[in-house]
Amino acid sequence: MHRQALKQAKSATKAQRASPKTQRKNKQSLTAKKRRFSTTPPPSSGVKSFGVIGAGQMGTGIAIVAANVSKLPVTLVDVNQSSLDNAEKFLANLMSKDVTKGKITREAADEALSRISYSTDMGAFNKTQFIVEAATEDLALKQKIFTSLDQIAPEGAILGTNTSSISITKIAAATSRPQDVIGMHFMNPVPVMKLVEIIPGLRTSIPTLTTTLALSAEMGKTTTQSRDFPGFIANRVLMPYINEAVFVLQEGIATAQDIDTTMKLGTNVPMGPLTLADFIGLDTCLSIMKVLHAGSGGDSEYRPSPLLQQYVDAGYLGKKTGRGFYDYAPKM
């Protein structure tokens, strides 16, 4: 007993004598092992410029929230000029509607729109502090974009991705600065939905996380945090629900209308799963289910419905194409 007590005393003395540098290393190692999932955001993110890649529905929504709510200068980049033109027209109409409804003054709306610049060149991000990618849900495409951003964005810039299911760690691996890469999953439509899922990758730094949380608050959003696993929180729960509804339709158990009505009135949700799928985009739903299926090692629980695949193959992608599980074509 005496020898054991003496040994413990020596160990304690050695720990006390450890150099400050060694103590810092030990503390950093402990922090890495016990990565926090919530931090208190600083009073200000410190972000002075904002960029978005992808002028689709999500990217356009993110851009106007940053410009209108956070009052940030925004650069919206897309390789397709017609997409940028459409985004500019859409935002002008959106802000005009808000003026008509009394949600914003004409002067404030014009100021918000003036904060957004448009470009087909990613080189426009060479001085941008915070960039969010909102391209198609495809890993290879996102990795290509992040490799380019790595060469263009200034040192210390945060590179966010709006992916709804793809591994942040895999996307970050395409750069030489994975500590600056983070998931920032906005909900659709961005100006309306209050939530942003924040997903740190395996090598995302604490400063990147805290800045992202602070910026999200400045954009008027509530945040939740998820570990970097397929589907994160929202789509890990939502997509299998939608996929199962498609299986019910596929097997002839009920019509689309009866499936949606049952879930709306039976569970008090604002819209049924098939209507929601049409709004999200059936191609997006299919892509996420494939990520979940692959990420689970092929678990049959996440097998995409063959009918969902068939609709996507037919070009029935939902409301954006005028046809999904429902027909949205204008009535003659």
Active site residues: 164, 185, 197, 235
Distance CA 187, CA 197 (A): 8
Which residue type is seen at 330? P
**In angstroms, what CA-CA distances link 256 with 43, 326, 332?**
48, 8, 23
Sequence-distant (6+) residues with CB within 8 A of 110 are: 95
Q: Which two tokens stand for residue 238?
A: 């939502």
Kindly report the backbone phi and psi dihedral angles of residue 76, in degrees, each rounded to the nearest multiple of 5, phi listed first: -105, 120
DSSP state of 70: S
**195 close to 219: Cβ distance less than 8 angstroms:** no
CB atoms within 10 A of CB 330: 5
Beta pairing, strands 130-133 & 50-53:
parallel
